[in-house]
């Protein structure tokens, strides 16, 4: 971290500031230029509140030199992380997976949907049993019975299951039941007690970007999980809230290469929540592949008009068949070796 001081700062004020910083256990390097004085802060800069420092009269500006995320940072871990999701399915570092299934688990139709997405080439099954709905009056999910159905389908098809966890008190249940991947949704992207609790397990976590979350906030959320000991984190871009109203969210595909640049963690993209409309899911799924996503999460329902949640963005199994074919085609085109 560096602090750039106003050139009007007196020697006495600069001296006070230096002893304040050093009093927090850091060392300082001072350089006096013609127009400004720069103090470099070396050591554990988490002990300094940059906003407090910047609020001081003689301080013009404070700049971070290194990112606050460490475990998620590619600088300290240059090779791609590969997350093992169980059932022989790995993601990241060249392993690409498609996670598909309904928004919510609604009943035994889940088994038919699972068979269809599996036959189409999806390698992981999704479905929400505990649903984070914006309205408390909307369908809240089947709860434990939904987990049972999901796991039944996962075991029949030998596919890992991905399902959302909303409450830290459910972590034990999810782990005991053998949920393969716990999803943390956009609405919980900064639920720090939930992030810490899933961090105390070894179960892979699919961590979605918050609706108004920056890339750095997503990485800091990953850091919460990893700082508790769970390195099996998969990042997910699912669209952010902007002024645009023609789509449910704005798919920030920039985030895919940006996350790859900043972090070694696998990056999945979710064109279903990012667009909100079935008609846009396929083109944006293909775009996400071309942008370098390590996987896609796509909602599929056997009868979207009867879906209990997110029917407007669901693909039918037939539509998903075609989308999978085109995903394979795009992946072939962008592959680096074409022997
Ligand atoms: C979901 O995956 O069904 C979901 C609720 O997603 P998000 O948290 O991205 O809105
Ligand atoms: Mn959904």
For the CA of 189, the nearest atom of ligand 1: 8
The answer to whether residues 137 and 308 touch, using CB atoms and an 8 Å cutoff, is no
276 lines ligand 1 (CB under 6 A): no
The answer to whether residues 274 and 298 touch, using CB atoms and an 8 Å cutoff, is no
State how far the Cα of 266 lies from the Cα of 162, in Å rounded to an integer: 15
- What integer is the mean pLDDT of 55-66? 92
pTM > 0.85: yes or no: yes
The closest residue, in CA terms, to atom 4 on ligand 1 is 185
Q: Ligand 2 center to residue 229 CA distance, Å? A: 29
- 39's CB contacts (< 8 A; 6+ apart) are 2, 3, 5, 14, 17, 18, 21, 28, 29, 30
Which residues, in sequence order, are bridge partners of residue 299? 101
Residue 250 has pLDDT above 90, yes or no: yes
Q: Which ligand is nearest to the CA of 238?
A: 1
**Percentage of the chain surpassing pLDDT 70?**
100
State how far the Cα of 133 lies from the Cα of 112, in Å rounded to an integer: 25
Could you report the per-residue pLDDT of 74-101, keeping only the tens digit for each? 998 999 999 999 999 999 999 999 999 9
Work out the mean pLDDT of the chain and round it to a whole number.
Answer: 96
- What integer is the mean pLDDT of 196-208? 98
128 lines ligand 1 (CB under 6 A): yes
State how far the Cα of 147 lies from the Cα of 201, in Å rounded to an integer: 18
Probe ligand 1: pick from 139, 250, 273, max atoms within 8 Å of CB?
273
**Percentage of the chain surpassing pLDDT 90?**
91
- What integer is the mean pLDDT of 162-167? 98
pLDDT at 34: 80
> Mapping DSSP to helix (H, G, I), strand (E, B) and coil, where does residue 309 land?
coil
pLDDT at 337: 76
Could you report the per-residue pLDDT of 268-305, keeping only the tens digit for each? 999 999 999 999 999 999 999 999 999 999 999 999 99
Q: Delineate the domains of the chain, giving CATH numbers in brackets.
A: 2-63 (3.30.70.1140), 83-338 (3.20.20.70)
């Amino acid at each position: 971290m560096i602090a750039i001081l106003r050139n009007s700062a007196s020697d006495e004020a600069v001296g006070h500031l230096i002893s304040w910083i050093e009093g927090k256990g850091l060392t300082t390097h001072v350089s006096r230029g013609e127009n400004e004085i720069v103090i470099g802060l070396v050591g554990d800069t988490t002990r300094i509140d940059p906003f407090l420092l910047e609020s001081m009269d003689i301080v013009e500006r404070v700049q971070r030199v290194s990112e606050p995320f460490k475990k998620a940072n590619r600088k300290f871990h240059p090779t791609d992380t590969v997350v093992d999701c169980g059932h022989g399915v790995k993601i990241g570092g060249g392993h690409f997976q498609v996670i598909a299934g309904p928004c919510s688990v609604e009943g035994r139709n889940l088994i038919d949907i699972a068979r269809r997405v599996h036959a189409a080439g999806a390698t992981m099954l999704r479905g929400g049993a505990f649903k984070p709905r914006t309205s408390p009056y909307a369908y809240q999910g089947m709860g434990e019975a939904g987990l049972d159905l999901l796991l039944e389908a996962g075991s029949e098809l030998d596919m890992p299951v991905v399902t959302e966890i909303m409450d830290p008190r459910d972590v034990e249940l999810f782990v005991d039941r053998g949920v393969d991947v716990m999803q943390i949704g956009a609405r919980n992207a900064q639920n720090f007690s939930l992030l810490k609790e899933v961090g105390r397990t070894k179960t892979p976590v699919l961590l979605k970007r918050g609706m108004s979350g920056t890339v750095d906030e997503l990485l800091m959320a990953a850091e919460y999980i990893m700082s508790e000991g769970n390195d099996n984190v998969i990042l997910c871009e699912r669209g952010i809230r902007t002024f645009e109203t023609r789509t449910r969210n704005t798919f920030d595909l920039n985030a895919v290469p940006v996350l790859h640049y900043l972090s070694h963690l696998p990056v999945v993209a979710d064109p279903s929540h990012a667009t909100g409309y079935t008609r846009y899911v396929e083109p944006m799924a293909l775009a996400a592949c071309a942008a370098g996503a390590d996987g896609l999460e796509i909602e599929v329902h056997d009868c979207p008009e009867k879906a209990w949640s997110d029917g407007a963005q669901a693909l039918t199994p037939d539509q998903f068949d075609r989308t999978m074919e085109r995903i394979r085609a795009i992946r072939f085109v962008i592959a680096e070796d074409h022997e």
